[in-house]
Amino acid sequence: MSAVRALVDLLAGRRDAASLAPREWDGVISVARAEALLGTLSVRLEGAALPAPVAALFADQRAAAEIAQRQALWEAEMARRALAEDAEFVLLKGTAYAAAGLSCARGRQIGDLDILVPWHDIGRAENELLEGGWEWVKPDPYDDAYYRDHMHELPPLIHKARDRMIDVHHTILPRTHRKTPDPLALVADAVPTTSGFAVLCPIDMACHCAAHMLADGDLQGGLRNLWDFHCLAGDFVAADAGFWGRLDARAAKHGLRVEVRRAARLARDLYGTTLPSGWDRHDPGDRWYRRRLLARDNWGGASDFLLQQAFYIRSHWLRMPPAMLARHLWTKWRRR
Amino acid sequence: MRHDTRIAVGPVQFRIGSDWARPIAALNRLYASYPQDPERPADATVRLFAARPWRRWLRPSVQIGGDFTVPDALPLPLAMGLLAAEMGMNLQVALGWRRHLLLHASAVEKDGRAVILSGVSGSGKSTLAALLGETGWRLMSDEFTLIAPDSGDALAFPRAVSLKNEAIAEMAARVDPARLGPLLAGTPKGDIRHLIPRPDAIAAMHDPARPALILFPRFGGAAAAVEPMGEGEAFVRLTEASTNYTALGEAGFAALTRLVRETPAFALSYPDSATGLALVDRLWAEAGR
């Protein structure tokens, strides 16, 4: 069995860790690292029967993930202090999951700090962050202008002392994207966490997770995003039996019904998410997504080159209209 | 991958895969005397691969990858495959290891107590450690020294010593030629030749040692000089020499604080190896007990 399949089955709880031969762990660990899921796997298999070296490695990963999470929340606190007191901002993705204490946060690797700020506040937020010690990462004027004119976020900023990146979003998909979710609704309906941060409300969080995975980018790191979706759905259904219905209506409002439905089906197929009857259908197109999500060889390397390229092209196709795409590729190609 | 091997160095089990047979064969010769446990799952994976399919045969060049990669790393010619493997192994440890505080330092041990030598490339720390390893000390590490956060002990990581430039002739004159790897001439780091540690150093690679001295050697200068170093400066220098200090959070801070509080530290400059060795012996006699 392939290592990436074994990883997915272990996460889903379909396979007993004790059934792996010692050397099968080689591939599982490499693939989990490549997919940023090693911390998640080590939490999922805490207490399972594991070979001693694997148990020791997983204990390291759990401890490291806990520290990394504390550091990520500290970074959010730093942003809060840098931004004006009355500024509204909403945590997104990994930091939001950690701040809200959601189950996918356990062991989860958190990269940059992602925040959402209303469009009318974006200039002010940028100034305050620059005064607070963040600096622009991309000195290239084309890239800078590209971010400002077409993207859903500011050019990335990095803190000069702590060396941590912040992505300041004003919406959740590029401005030129075919799908245009409603950013005002995202901010207006955000909910507070016990630690005093704001995060997206459950249905928006699930919409963002699906949009991020399926509409923005080429599905790289998709297994991790899909695990987030699987866990979010589990957490939110447990708290609210009407979650799926509300999610459907919200996805329709944001124009993300296709993405949310597909995310749900993929989560069911790979991680065993329980779906309500209306959602539980089969779409022949899903198999390409499943193949793309599982495109890792037993050494953690990318496999299925053509499919990866196809998804890469698709991501650009979704992100900008054809004429603009041509201009963009031409500019990028000329400066190679 | 087409070719692969497994190597255990100190607490880390590596799995190394390659598109070519040569780097794996070279690794197997260099690490033939290291203990092997074929059943043990790998902590870290290294991949040596052709960045473009035709680069497997046409001017073959080795891209270094694995669990962790450096995005813009330049490939090396196949003749330097052994160096690529070494860099790949170092990279996985530097970026992936979390069990211990990692210091970019060499170390030697005597009577269960360790001398840690920290310094930038070219400071001579590897050469000093290799020379000490031939004169009554156990060579623990030439590149990474691991500090256990719970006990404060130093742990060995005795991979094959990477001798550079003048150090090659200096060591070749002293050791059995069978302990030397092939000469890799004209690499980006100069000439390189690997030295297999003595069998007793390999056999004792799991034995911890109590840190007794921290030295910051600097090769060059006209005369020998020894300068005691305060805890604060040693602390700051070692945070810069650590690849995972930040990632370990409070445990890293506690381990490093303890290390600099309990271990005397000195900066030393030395014009030649003989002087360097004499200085280490003198400091060991005076402060290392």
Tokens 């007191």 — which residue? A85
Q: What is the CATH number of the domain that holds B275?
A: 3.90.228.20
Using the beta-carbon criterion (under 8 Å), do A53 and B98 form an inter-chain contact? no
The answer, for A263 touching chain B at a CB cutoff of 8 Å, is no
Check CB contact of A20 with chain B, cutoff 8 Å: no
Assess whether B227 and B118 both reside in one domain.
yes
Residue B45 lies in a domain: yes
**Tokens in use for A306?**
């053509």
Provide the shortest C-alpha distance from residue B72 to chain A (in Å). 14
Question: Pick from B77, B96, B115: which residue ends a domain?
Answer: B96
Range of the domain at B255: 101-158+197-286
Among the partner-chain residues A30, A53, A71, the one whose CB lies closest to the CB of B45 is A30
Length of chain A, please? 336
Q: Give every residue of chain B whose pLDDT is below 50, as ranges.
A: none
Last residue of a domain, one of B71, B96, B121: B96
- What integer is the mean pLDDT of A310-314? 87
B231 and B106 together in one domain: yes
| Number of domains, chain B | 2
Residue B167 lies in a domain: no
Contact: A29, B42; criterion CB under 8 Å: yes
Distances from the Cα of A247 to the Cαs of A85, A216, A237, A256, in angstroms?
A: 32, 19, 10, 10
Interchain CB contact of A67 with B (< 8 Å): yes
User: How confident is the model over B220-259, as pLDDT tens digits?
Assistant: 878 889 999 999 999 999 999 999 999 999 999 999 999 9
Please check whether residue B184 lies inside any domain of the structure: no
**DSSP state letter for B41:** P
With pLDDT > 90 as the criterion, what percentage of chain A qualifies?
76
Neighbours of B229 (CB within 10 A): 18
Of A244, A249, A281, nearest to A266 by C-alpha is: A281
Q: Which residues of B touch A299 (CB under 8 A)?
A: 1, 17, 45, 47
Claim to verify: residue B66 and residue B110 sit in the same structural domain: no
Mean pLDDT of A225-243: 98
**In the sheet that A113-116 helps form, which strands lie side by side, from edge to edge?**
A134-136, A157-159, A165-169, A113-116, A90-92, A198-199, A191-192
Kindly determine whether residue A56 and residue B99, on different chains, have CB atoms separated by under 8 Å.
yes
Under an 8 A CB cutoff, do A56 and B67 touch? no
- With beta carbons under 8 A apart, name residues in chain A contacting B92: none
Say if residue B41 is in the same domain as residue B143. no
Task: Give me the pLDDT at residue B289, please.
Answer: 60
Is pLDDT of A336 > 90? no
In a domain, residue B76? The reply is: yes
Contact present, B16 and B6 (Cβ < 8 Å): yes
Same structural domain for residues B49 and B91?
yes
> Above 70 in pLDDT, residue A114?
yes
Q: What does the pLDDT read at residue A328?
A: 78
Q: B52 with B30, same domain?
A: yes
Q: Is residue B180 in some structural domain?
A: no
- In a mutagenesis test of the B interface, which of A20, A23, A37 is the best target, namely the one with the most B β-carbons within 10 Å? A23
Confidence grade of residue A319 (pLDDT, cut at 50, 70, 90): confident
- Helix, strand, coil percentages, rounded to 5, for chain A: 60, 5, 35
Beta bridge partners of B9: B12
Do B113 and B69 belong to one domain? no
- Rounded to whole angstroms, how far apart are CA atoms A25 and B282? 48
B15, B91: one domain: yes
Statement to judge: residues B247 and B107 lie in one domain? yes
CB A299 within 8 A of CB A205: no
Strand partners, B50: B62
- Angstrom CA distances, B202 to B6, B68, B138, B193, stand at 16, 26, 9, 18
B-chain residues within 8 Å CB-CB of A300? 45, 47, 66-67
Q: Is residue B73 part of a domain?
A: yes
Please answer yes or no on whether B47 and A301 come within 8 Å at the CB atom.
Answer: yes
Q: Which of B53, B71, B96 is the last residue of a domain?
A: B96
Q: How far apart are CA B23 and CA B91, in angstroms?
A: 17
Residues A301 and B47 sit within 8 Å (Cβ to Cβ) = yes
Asked whether residue B269 is domain-assigned, the answer is yes
Alpha-carbon gap: A180 to the closest alpha carbon of chain B (Å)? 32
Average pLDDT, integer, range A128-136:
94
Answer yes or no: are the C-beta atoms of A156 and A165 closer than 8 Å: yes
Q: Do both B259 and B128 map to the same domain?
A: yes
Q: State whether A26 and B1 contact (CB < 8 Å).
A: no
Taking residues A114-124, report their average pLDDT.
Answer: 93
Measure in Å the smallest separation between the Cα of A301 and chain B Cα atoms: 8
Rg (CA), chain B: 19
Inside any domain, residue B183: no
B32 and B15, same structural domain?
A: yes
Q: Let me know whether B279 and B207 are in one domain.
A: yes
According to DSSP, residue A174 is labeled: -
Compare all CA atoms of chain B with the CA of A68 and give the residue at the minimum distance. Answer: B247
Across chain A, mean pLDDT equals 93
For the sheet with B190-195, list strands across it: B161-164, B190-195, B184-187
What proportion of chain A, given as a percentage, has pLDDT over 70? 100
